[in-house]
Structure 1
Amino acid sequence: MANRARLIFFLLSTYLLFAFGFGAESESYFHVIKVTSLLPPPRCSTPKGSNHHENRKGVLKLDHRYGPCSPLGHRGKPTLREILSQDQSRVNSLQSRFKAQFRQVEDTKTTTLPAHLGTLIGTGNYVVTIGLGTPKSDLTVVFDTGSNLNWVQCQPCAGQCYPQQDPIFDPSKSSTYLNISCSSQDCSLLPSATGRSTRCAASTSTCVYATAYGDGSFSTGYFARDTLALTTSDVFPNFAFGCGQSNDGLFGRTAGLLGLGRDALSLISQTAKEYGKVFSYCLPPTSSSNGGYLKFGSGDATSVKFTPLLTNPNSPSFYFLQMAGISVGGQQLNIAPSTFASPGTIIDSGTVITRLPMSAYVALRSAFREFMSNYTMAPASSLLDTCYDFTQQDTVTVPKIVLHFGGNVDVDVPLSGIFSIHSASQVCLAFAGNSDASDLAIFGNHQQQTLQVVYDLASNKVGFEVAGCT
């Protein structure tokens, strides 16, 4: 009976949309779209009104690292299937870290690399360009809310360095570069070692860092300080970072990583006096758009809705949110709130596809398929099992998906976040279910597209604003 009522509701709503012209998204529970608009343009484009990154204090231009707007070029661009495989590797790493099974690499001599690095990854999908050193070197790095340590590859690459787009940072050419000593308090903050002796380069008494990802990717080298320039007016002397002498993994020709986690060594903590532990970003709707930005400090948005930011002692650097439910096509799904209570939900800038507890995902999938029952299904793609063939359609009507969070905050998933698109013949629902009840739910970056996402660590809250890129 419930399934029949939902289908009748869908058909009636679709009729009203066309019969009475209720085309605006705000006036319905559905998206009515042209199939041709689902496919991203092959060239870089700038959405109208996207000027957040132009000459503003504390604001960096943000790009998808595999798209035509990326400063990294197109060499080594993975297929969508490979991206999904890489995404699952990242999720496995996050899950194992949460379960205390993740461990840092202590000694590069004992590091075991996978036989084939081509399908594994440990970092995120969006990049920004920063300046490091005096005179500054411009470096394109991944930013990642799931990581804390900041690091870049450094000359002379005594071990090994992977190929990157920018010239590798040479500390000998920076007048403000300083190695951190083993005896410093900063060195003791490194999470990569259990004893002080393992943090020391014996010949120089220089602090050594080591960070590894669940897929075998790693970076090791000297822990150091130098001048960081986020913009021409946002300059931070004595910024602590890893100067990588031995690095490997699929980092996509980036120079390194910018950690936006919550611990003492992250960029957010090191710039707290200037920005008050507040940052935000907006991810563009497609990899072909350059309208995204990463912004530090409090913003000027007036319509941001905030949900409480939670902390889990097992992983205090992760950003936990209280997820409360899901609606599809204007109807809230019958999911017990306890489904999301344990082990919890995190928001992550580096995970692509949102992961849900299996029972919640099954409810979402069932409702979505009912609303889409008039369309031809296509074969599953990797971890995505609800796909459609739209080649015979000019337009399609898609139910909106709303994620409900604590504090009565409802996040309307943008249209670009509902589907993962291989081609018009394989358009897939961009959500997946966890395989284990002990796995975290993860609010991924694909569903965050076009939202302004505000992290206010000082007030322990995370906010969302619709159409944040414009």
Structure 2
Amino acid sequence: MDDVGGSSEVSTIPAYSGSLLRTDSYVITVGIGTPKKDFTVMFDTARRKGNLIRDTLTLTPSAVLPNFVFGCSDGDIGGDLTTGLIGLGRGKASLFSQASEKFGKIFSYCLPSSPNSMGYLAIGRTGLPPHVMYTPMLTTPTWPSLYFVGLAAIKVADKTLPLPPTVYSRTVIDSGTVITRLPPMAYSTLRSEFRKYMTDYTPVPPMFDLDACDDVSRHENLKVPTVELLFDDGASLTLDFDGTMIMKDDYKACLAFAVNNDTGINIIGNNQQKKYTVVYDVANAKIGFGAGGCD
């Protein structure tokens, strides 16, 4: 059995789409202070900066963390109606790091596909699907708190894009970023191959960074080619319509991928993680994906 460190306790918190709260991130409700006051916060596997204070954090009635270190953010963290953000990165001040002694060095989540569905965030080892596939969790000295993975290839309609694996180097998985961002060469190749299967739809102008958009209002059954992200050691994310596209105003559907704007980091966004159980097993340095974790 893998070692997760710490105890075998687990805290599972309902997670929801933040769209009704004017954020594209996913949210949970936690209690802060004694007596506790409930706050709705986003959760994010990236990193943030701010000033620090200590107080009690209540995840569930049976999962209370006294002397928890909170940060007061120096900048906007997004979401007009959310209160703040729970960090899940590998930095010392994150929820994951502070809770690891009690719950072990592992957490998982499932991001629901719509505001009407419920997902979860689980701190500790919970009942994971038996079919979870794992890929090594990588670390880069420049960004030690981020979760890097080895993205090996991308398929569209079962056809592997003709690109060398080095194109995908320095790829992170992040619950707080909405769309997946790729290097210009990789995105251009993906977009061109994807557009070959979208001839039944009418192209419409771009939406922000999304430049592969179509009018789908006259179609009852929306069909798009399957996109698959392939990782080292055989793990993969097979994307259905919800994981491939973003809908706008019930008529515009856009490919939920974009260029990484020369940041030097590729990002697997939360849109591509929808409905998967995503496992961050830090103790054993691996990240897992299990289909059908939530609706």
TM-score (norm 2): 0.90
CA contact (8 A) 2:229 2:238 kept: yes
CA distance in 2, matches of 1:311, 1:429: 29
The partner residue of 2:120 within 286, 293, 303 is: 293
Spell out, residue by residue over 1:87-136, the C-alpha distance to the aligned partner (whole angstroms, 9 max, x if none).
Answer: xxxxxxxxxxxxxxxxxxxxxxxxxxxxxxxxxxxxx7121111122222
Counterpart of 1:138 (choices 30, 38, 42) is 38
| Aligned-pair CA distance for 1:397 | 2.7
Structure 1 residues 224 and 333 mapped into 2: Cα distance closer, same or farther (>3 Å)? same
1:236 paired residue among 55, 65, 70? 65
1:224 alignment counterpart:
53
Structure number with the higher helix fraction is 1
Please tell me the residue identity of whatever aligns with 2:275. Answer: T
Instruction: Tell me the distance in 2 between the aligned counterparts of 1:407 and 1:332.
Output: 17
**C-alpha separation between the residues in 2 aligned to 1:139 and 1:392?**
41
- Counterpart of 1:453 (choices 247, 271, 278) is 278
* 1:64 aligns with one of 17, 27, 32: 17
Matches of 2:279 and 2:161, distance apart in 1:
27
Moved >6 Å (runs of 4+): none
| Counterparts in 2 of 1:388 and 1:265: CA distance versus 1, 3 Å | same
**Counterpart check, 1:432 vs 2:258:** yes
Q: What is the aligned length?
A: 286
1:131–1:137 Cα contact (<8 Å) kept: yes
Q: Contact (CA 8 Å) 1:57, 1:231: kept in 2 or not? A: no
Partners in 2 of 1:434 and 1:57 — Cα distance? 36
RMSD: 2.1
More strand, by proportion: 2
Listed as ranges, the matches of 1:97-136 within 5 Å are 125-136=25-36
- Aligned partners of 1:306 and 1:407 also within 8 Å: yes
User: What letter is aligned with 1:125?
Assistant: S
| Residue 266 of structure 2 is aligned to residue 441 of structure 1 | yes
Could you tell me which residue of structure 2 aligns to residue 374 of structure 1?
Answer: 200
1:234 counterpart letter in structure 2: A
* Cα separation, partners in 2 of 1:374 and 1:138, compared to 1, 3 Å: closer
Tell me how far apart the structure 2 counterparts of residues 248 and 280 of structure 1 sit (CA, whole Å). Answer: 26
Residue aligning to 1:43:
none
Change (3 A) 1:392 1:132: closer
Structure possessing the higher radius of gyration over alpha carbons = 1
SS at match of 1:435: coil
Give the whole-Å Cα distance in 2 for the aligned partners of 1:391 and 1:255.
36
Structure-1 separation of matches of 2:77 and 2:57: 25
* Contact 1:57 1:233 survives alignment (8 Å): no
Q: Letter of the 1:388 partner, please give it.
A: D
- Give 1:160's aligned residue: none
CA contact (8 A) 2:11 2:59 kept: yes
Question: What's the CA shift for 1:57?
Answer: 5.1
Shift of 1:424: 4.5
Contiguous gaps of at least 5 residues in structure 2:
1-8
TM-score with structure 1 length normalisation? 0.58
Residues 271-306 of structure 1 show CA distances to partners (whole Å, capped at 9, x for unaligned) of: 1112211111111112x2231111111122211111
Return the letter of the residue paired with 1:450.
K
Question: Paired residue for 1:397?
Answer: 223
